[in-house]
Amino acid sequence: MSSDKEYQVEDLERIFTGATLSPVFRHNPKYPIKGGVARIAYNDIMDYKFIIRHDKNFNGNAFWSEDADVIAEYKSIEELVDDGWSLD
């Protein structure tokens, strides 16, 4: 695992453990979206679910919990990072 991947995994583990926010991700070329951002909903953080959703109306809310379209779902943080997602 490269140091960037290690950093991404560690940072996401801190977010999940502390339930500190609803993280926003950089655009992943595998999953093009129009407008908005890709992120994990706060409710999914609380439930330890690794689901990337499309927040079409991003307003900077750190605790976004809207039920939105699923872009991709993973079994682990490592799987999510290995698929090309990185924190914005």
16-36 average pLDDT score: 93
Q: Are 72 and 31 in contact (CB under 8 A)?
A: yes
Query: What's the full length of the chain, in residues?
Result: 88
Instruction: Tell me the per-residue pLDDT of 38-55, one tens digit each, with 9 for 90 and over.
Output: 999 999 999 999 999 999
Delimit the domains of the chain by residue range: 3-82
Q: Does position 1 have pLDDT exceeding 70, yes or no?
A: no
Neighbour-count burial for 33-72, b at 16+ CB within 10 Å, e otherwise: eeeebbbbbbebbeeeebbbbbbeeeeeeeebeeebeebb
The pLDDT-based confidence of 4 (bands split at 50, 70, 90) is confident
